[in-house]
Amino acid sequence: MAARHIWAAGAMLMAAVAWAVALVIDHAPWSESAAGVLAAGLLVVIAVAVVAIMIDSSRLGYWLGVSGVGLMLALAGMRELDTIWVIAIALTAVAGVLMADRRLGGWIRTEGPVAPVPSRATGLGLLLLLAPILTAFFLINESGGGPIVWLTLASWGILVAFVRRLPGAVAAVRLGAPALMGASAFLDLPGTTIWGSLMLAASVLAWSKEVRLAVRPLVERGSRVSIPPELLSDDLRRAAGIDRDRE
């Protein structure tokens, strides 16, 4: 099916919206704040996956979409059966069937990029994106509602700075990840353990050379080399005014 990536992307988006609505209507068994993080996180993950699949035929985008479908199935196992549950699980099933073959293709590019992002930089980005979602999922009947929301905003804020390569992005990930690891003390168990472990891994990756080069790549100054006119194309010689053979 030539347009299967379009159908898969649409099914994933509709399923994510359905589960987000379900969490807003009835957040049990999670607290209201944890359910809000789950809903927002699911929408963000699926949106990123859809963009990566549709534009770049990204393998990472595909597996991120598969992870989003897996999260939807996990949500289904934790919630009571009702009308919105039936609608959401039906859309999730459709998305799962369409995602069964990873050769989805893409809208702009049909094959993945030749030079992928360094694995450690990718891993750091995924940890900052998924850590709040994974932590919120295990915060069942959380007593304190605020910390997970603020930690989520901090983690995603650092992620945006890192992905956009904003000024100070390297310092943000290298100092922010350890600070967020220490902030795990504000969460209830098992959230403390999960958040602290993921932020510890992010801190280790943040201090790797690949992460620094992903934000500040090495740029070498080139040198001027004389090229004989006969090696240039006809268009370049005409543009430079040295195409005397045609005068």
Q: What is the pLDDT of residue 151?
A: 94
Estimate to the nearest angstrom the gap between the alpha carbon of 80 and the chain centroid. 29
**Residue 116's pLDDT band (boundaries 50, 70, 90)?**
low
Check: CB of residue 51 under 8 Å from CB of residue 61: yes
Residue 241 reports pLDDT greater than 80: no
Q: How many residues does the chain have?
A: 247
- Contact between 55 and 108 under an 8 Å Cβ cutoff? The reply is yes
- Give pLDDT, residue 88: 92
Percentage of the chain modeled with pLDDT above 90: 39
Q: Is the dihedral of CA 204, 208, 212, 213 positive or negative?
A: negative
Of 46, 23, 31, nearest to 136 by C-alpha is 31
Task: Show me where the domains of the chain are located.
Answer: 1-109, 118-217
pLDDT at 205 (0 to 100): 92
In the block, which residue shows the tokens 């930690």? 151
127 or 212, which is more confident:
127
Return the axis-axis angle of helices 83-98 and 59-78, rounded to nearest 10°: 150
Question: What tokens were used for 237?
Answer: 């010689």
- In the predicted structure, residue 218 carries a pLDDT above the cut 80: no
pLDDT at 227 over 80: no
Q: How much is the pLDDT for 89?
A: 94
Give the pLDDT score at 98. 84
- The confidence score (pLDDT) of residue 160 equals 92
Q: When comparing pLDDT for 81 and 213, which is higher?
A: 81
Residue 159 pLDDT level (bands cut at 50, 70, 90) = very high
Look at 36-45, 54-63, 120-129, 214-223 and tell me which has the smallest mean pLDDT. Answer: 214-223
Q: Average of pLDDT values for 71-94?
A: 91
